[in-house]
Amino acid sequence: MFKILKAEQLSANVYMKVVHAPRVAKSCEPGQFIIVKVDETAERIPLTICDYDREAGTITIVFQPIGVSTHKMVDLKEGDFFEDFVGPLGKPSELVTDDLEEVKKKKVVFIAGGVGTAPVYPQAKWLHEHGIECDIIVGARTKELLILEDEMSKVGNLHLCTDDGSYGFHGMGTNQLEELVNNGNTYVFDGRGVADLFSIYKETPGVLFGASLADKVVGKGAAALMVLGGVVDVYALVISEPALRFLQDAGVDVRFDKPVAMIINRSGTGPCPVESLCRECSTPQECLPMIEGFLHDMKVL
């Protein structure tokens, strides 16, 4: 059993619990997650670790109630217990595992909103503890839905955004990003896959136009978005042959370390799903609905 030491409602539909789980707290890193179970009849719910305190042996989780089990979690108060609390699971953030001196050379920006703010906090906190500055853009529809403002303001340069202009920057997070980039800033995006790139292309295409972009892995879907966005220069550690053709055909200056026939999925069991979906596409424009449909099905959009 795992005791809840603190329970708090952060906004109208987002909740926080601080849980005593010393074995998890001892070894977890930013970017990892736990699986929690309210009782013996409940579902197993995966949640990203929002914060941890190794000395106190605590883990902080943030969630939004959607199904039966997460609604049960809302009812748990300080002093109640979780039936099970398993972790840490998953891979830590690349910001944590990459060479520290290389990370220090980067300019990092996080864009988050709602419960998506929770995974950002431990990464930004880790950077702050290692003397690395970052920008944090947190957005919401209105002021009342913003969360973790005090915590974020202590670990990075916080930029708050609201769609209705009730607090901070009037507009979406990507609009704030565009303003920062237009002021001459260079940024690193830590999201996996094509979700970040797609969001920027759809919401603030000016960020990509004329930009130089570097990525560890570039597949056909990412290349299509780069071409459509007007990227002029790309560097990749690994690039698929279809992606390389898209970029070269569009006149993009491409540098890379290793070309491959196709990008493999994260588990190494087969091709990347976006690469597979775009396989028969002959133009970047044909890839766009494939990428959008995939992200919608994955509930990223």
Whether 104 and 82 map to the same domain: the answer is no
Which of 191, 209, 236 marks a domain boundary? 191
CATH number, position 158: 3.40.50.80
pLDDT, mean of residues 237-249:
93
Residue with the two structure tokens 């398993």: 86
CATH number, position 252: 3.40.140.30
Whether 122 and 219 map to the same domain: the answer is no
Residue environment code for 150-187, b if the CB has 16+ CB neighbours within 10 A, otherwise e:
ebbeebbebbbbbbeeebbbebbbbbbbbebbeeeeeb
Whether 106 and 83 map to the same domain: the answer is no
Closest by Cα among 41, 37, 43 to 19: 37
pLDDT at 216: 83
Whether 18 and 99 map to the same domain: the answer is no
pTM tops 0.85: no
Cα 188 to chain centroid distance, Å, stands at 12
Residue type, 168: G
Q: Does an H or E element contain 209, and which?
A: none
pLDDT at 179: 75
**pLDDT class of 3 with cuts at 50, 70, 90:** very high
pLDDT at 188: 58
**pLDDT class of 27 with cuts at 50, 70, 90:** very high
Which of 89, 109, 125 marks a domain boundary? 89
What Rg, from alpha-carbon coordinates, does the chain have?
Answer: 20
Total number of domains constituting the chain: 3
pLDDT at 246 over 70: yes
pLDDT at 285 over 90: yes
Which of 54, 89, 124 marks a domain boundary? 89
pLDDT at 301 over 60: no
Whether 249 and 171 map to the same domain: the answer is no
Closest by Cα among 169, 2, 170 to 73: 2
**pLDDT class of 62 with cuts at 50, 70, 90:** very high
Question: Which residues span the domain enclosing 255?
Answer: 196-301
Whether 55 and 144 map to the same domain: the answer is no
CATH number, position 75: 2.40.30.10
Whether 85 and 99 map to the same domain: the answer is no
pLDDT at 67 over 90: no
**pLDDT class of 120 with cuts at 50, 70, 90:** very high
Whether 126 and 84 map to the same domain: the answer is no
Whether 241 and 140 map to the same domain: the answer is no
Whether 138 and 38 map to the same domain: the answer is no
